[in-house]
């Protein structure tokens, strides 16, 4: 395993976006350190507002910043609110990265997403596929802003010698996920469907598409562990993918979800719903070479997530903001 190049103990650590799924997981992970965790509610500092961010950063002077704040959402939200997706994300990244530079922040980790890669990138997708081809048009507003974020990180490294890095997580699941049936991603959608089908004693449950597409899933607490691992051990201009390294078909996922939930009904595949891209897998060899691997198998992660889901008050199974 790579040796730490930076220690987090004793540091003032700012998690931007601490209420989001990723930010909250980072806050949980970082409690293991003897560090001061800083977080600021949106009502107090709007990260899209340059003056507010600069004032806050100059006053609080964190040593480390995890930039997990972003406007995120699925295909429907991206198509409906393109201005929000590009503007909010560009502003948040530009403001936080520039203010971090001005305040002398020692380490910054920008969280992106594997959807920044070209639509027809080779599979598994290596980091150097970035900017080699046209993007998936439905999420290019978000992707362009996130690519600009990576470029900001690289530019501040080059021009100002700042030790800022960028990472790209694959599809995530776990606490804080969106369980709304129409806008959620497949894993939380299937978990909820199986839970409700079981409760209702329904004989069958519907899965969208053919069940053949392949996807990769990572528990958000494993993601947080990898992000902190990279914050301590990686310094470089090249971004780093974070994934499980394992892909499953949607049919296999649905079967595993039903097993986890204890639902024994029939699976019906609804061909009127789109399959989307046939395969989406991140190449995680850069991360693996540093010595990181996930703690939870998909089976274990699902069990934990289902327990969290079943314990959550119904009102907390939110749709995206």
260 is in an annotated binding site: no
Residue 215, annotated ligand binder? yes
Stretch that binds ligand GDP, among 42-50, 157-165, 207-215, 222-230 (CB under 6 A): 207-215
What 147-154 contacts at long range (C-beta under 8 Å, 24+ apart), as own/partner pairs, is 147/116, 148/90, 148/93, 148/94, 149/67, 149/89, 149/93, 149/97, 149/110, 149/112, 150/110, 150/112, 150/116, 150/239, 152/93, 152/94, 152/97, 152/98, 152/110, 153/97, 153/108, 153/110, 154/237
Is 34 marked as binding a ligand?
no
Q: Which of 235, 276, 304, 312 binds ligand GDP (CB under 6 A)?
A: 276
Find out whether 22 is annotated in a ligand binding site: yes
Does 21 carry a binding-site annotation? Answer: yes
CA-to-CA distance for 261 and 312, rounded, in angstroms?
15
- 142 counts as catalytic: yes
CB of 59 to ligand GDP, least distance (A): 40
**Which one, 146 or 215, has the nearer CB to ligand GDP?**
215
67-85 b/e (C-beta count within 10 Å ≥ 16 → b): bbbbbbbbeebbeeeeeeb
Bridge partners, residue 36, by sequence: 12
Q: Judged by CB under 6 A, which stretch of 17-25, 43-51, 119-127, 208-216 contacts ligand GDP?
A: 208-216
Told to check if 209 binds ligand GDP by CB under 6 A, we report yes
One residue of 185, 198, 251, 279 binding ligand GDP per CB under 6 A = 185
User: CA 109, 155, 284, 248: dihedral to nearest 10 degrees?
Assistant: 80
Catalytic, out of 6, 81, 117, 142: 142
CA atoms within 13 A on the CB side of 105: 33
Of these, 207, 220, 231, 242, which contacts ligand GDP (CB under 6 A)?
207
Residue 215 in the binding site for ligand GDP (CB under 6 A):
yes
List 116, 250, 287, 302, residue binding ligand GDP (CB under 6 A): 250
Active site residues: 142
Binding site for ligand GDP (CB under 6 A): 184-186, 189-190, 207-209, 213, 215, 250, 273-276, 280
């Amino acid at each position: 395993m790579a040796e730490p190049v930076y220690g987090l103990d004793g540091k003032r650590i700012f998690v931007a976006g601490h209420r989001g799924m990723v930010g909250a997981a980072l806050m949980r992970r970082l409690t293991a350190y003897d560090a001061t965790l800083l977080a600021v509610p949106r009502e107090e500092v709007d990260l899209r507002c340059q003056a507010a961010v600069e004032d806050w950063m100059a006053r609080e002077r964190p040593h480390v910043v995890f930039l997990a704040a972003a406007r995120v959402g699925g295909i429907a939200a991206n198509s409906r609110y393109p201005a929000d997706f590009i503007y909010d994300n560009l502003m948040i990244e530009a403001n936080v990265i520039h203010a971090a530079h001005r305040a002398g922040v020692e380490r910054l980790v920008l969280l992106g997403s594997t959807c920044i890669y070209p639509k027809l990138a080779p599979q598994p997708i290596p980091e150097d596929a970035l900017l080699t081809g046209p993007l998936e048009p439905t999420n290019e507003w978000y992707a362009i802003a996130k690519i600009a974020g990576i470029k900001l990180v690289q530019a501040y490294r080059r021009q100002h010698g700042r030790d800022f890095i960028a990472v790209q997580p694959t599809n995530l699941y776990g606490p804080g996920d969106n369980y709304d049936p129409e806008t959620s991603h497949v894993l939380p959608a299937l978990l909820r469907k199986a839970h409700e089908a079981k409760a209702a004693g329904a004989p069958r449950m519907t899965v969208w598409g053919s069940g053949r597409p392949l996807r990769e899933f990572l528990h958000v607490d494993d993601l947080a562990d990898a992000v902190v691992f990279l914050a301590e051990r990686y310094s470089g201009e090249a971004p780093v993918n974070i994934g499980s390294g394992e892909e499953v078909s949607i049919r296999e996922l649905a079967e595993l979800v039903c097993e986890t939930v204890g639902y024994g009904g029939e699976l019906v595949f609804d061909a009127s719903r789109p399959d989307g891209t046939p395969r989406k897998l991140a190449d995680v060899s850069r991360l693996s070479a540093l010595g990181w691997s996930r703690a939870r198998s998909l089976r274990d992660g699902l069990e934990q997530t289902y327990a969290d889901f079943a314990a959550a008050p119904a009102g907390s199974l939110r749709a995206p903001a």
